Amino acid sequence: MKAARIHQFGGPEALIYEDVPDPQPRKDQVMVRVRACSLNHLDIWVRKGLPGVKLPHILGSDIAGEVAEVGDYVSGFQTGQRVLLAPMLFCGHCEKCVAGLQNQCREFAVLGNGVDGGNCELIAVPSANVIPIPDSFNFNQAASVPLVFVTAWHMLVGRAGIRPGQTVLVLGASSGVGIAAIQIAKLFHCRVITTAGDEAKLAKSRELGADFGINHYQQRISEEVRRITNKQGVDVVVEHVGAATWDESVRSLKSGGTLVTCGATTGPHVAIDLRHLFGRQLSLLGSYMGTMGELHEVLKHVFAGRLQPVVDRVFPLSEIRAAHEYLERSQMFGKIVINP
């Protein structure tokens, strides 16, 4: 099969489009012919070098395609069936897994990070990862959903306990997590403030339901939040940018507010004044992807049309380097999708 692999860590030039052996699925696995795989910032971090990644390596966490082969120990799937893949792997039998907390499993891994991913023509995965998609849903849309929507759902619903009527600040309106978080917050009838680096992206975020937009290159986020909220601040901040926005995110919270973070795109090292933390009774929460139950829950809303994936641009797998360069320029609004 054709695949894009890295044989060494580095820039986009490290991606090699080449022939590799077809995977040999176990009897408890399903082989899927990949029709679409969307990019995430995780792909950039893995390509540049993360501990535990064995080379050569295939990137790609968000995958949609058709069932190509069903293992002897698997039931419920048919060859040619249209599916997407849950982007997570877990043991399935530890205390956390049987409690439905797969993202706390000690063996938890992400497709394209701990194991080979979907920048290829064929992939073999456990049957638990295979989720049928409706005929109305195309492969590019399906590949734009799993990682970012389950991440945003776990942040807002699972961790922050979002409630109707709250005000939510979503950092990075044009990112996959940002696009998902805006829509989920509106699904819960919240008021949404979001940020982006230009007016075109802010206009698109309003089309998704955002009530207010802040241009973070021209305006100070916390000052605009105070103006919009009549100096009260927001109930929840969805933070995944990291060091560049951390202080502004904390300043934007009202007393008793919650900041939930899932990433550190601009760097992991931040500072916190403990007097503000306990004096204002703030909650700072970490969030890591989500559970299988949460993925199925959010997919119900996606398949019903209440939540919409956004596809920015599609590249053939043979142009994987160009796709990574485009992702690193941060020009997109929505997901960049690869078609093998």
CATH number of the domain encompassing residue 213: 3.90.180.10
Where residue 266 falls among pLDDT bands split at 50, 70, 90? confident
Residue 42 vs residues 20, 90, 139, 169, 181: alpha-carbon distances, Å: 23, 18, 21, 23, 18
Where residue 331 falls among pLDDT bands split at 50, 70, 90? confident
Yes or no: say if 115 and 56 are a contact pair by the CB < 8 Å rule.
no
Same domain, 138 and 21: yes
- Average pLDDT value over all residues in the chain: 97
Strands (E), the chain: 2-6, 15-19, 29-38, 57-58, 62-70, 82-85, 88-89, 109-110, 122-126, 130-132, 167-170, 191-196, 212-215, 234-239, 253-261, 283-286, 311-316, 335-339
Mean pLDDT of 90-113: 97
pLDDT of residue 221: 97
Q: Pairing relation of β-strands 2-6 and 57-58?
A: antiparallel
The answer to whether position 292 is within a domain reads: no
Q: State which residues form the domain around 249.
A: 149-286
First to last CA, the chain: 10
The answer to whether position 11 is within a domain reads: yes
Checking if the pLDDT of 6 tops 90, the result is yes
Yes or no: say if 63 and 37 are a contact pair by the CB < 8 Å rule.
yes
pLDDT by residue (tens digit) across 82-91? Answer: 999 999 999 9
pLDDT of residue 45: 95
Same domain, 133 and 165: no
pTM of the model: 0.96
Where residue 171 falls among pLDDT bands split at 50, 70, 90? very high
Yes or no: say if 266 and 273 are a contact pair by the CB < 8 Å rule.
no
Where residue 175 falls among pLDDT bands split at 50, 70, 90? very high
Mean pLDDT of 307-325: 98
Same domain, 168 and 206: yes
The answer to whether position 60 is within a domain reads: yes
Taking every pair of C-alpha atoms in the chain, what is the biggest distance, in angstroms?
Answer: 62
pLDDT of residue 340: 96
Q: Pairing relation of β-strands 62-70 and 29-38?
A: antiparallel
Same domain, 177 and 130: no
The structural domain count of the chain equals 2
Mean pLDDT of 263-267: 88
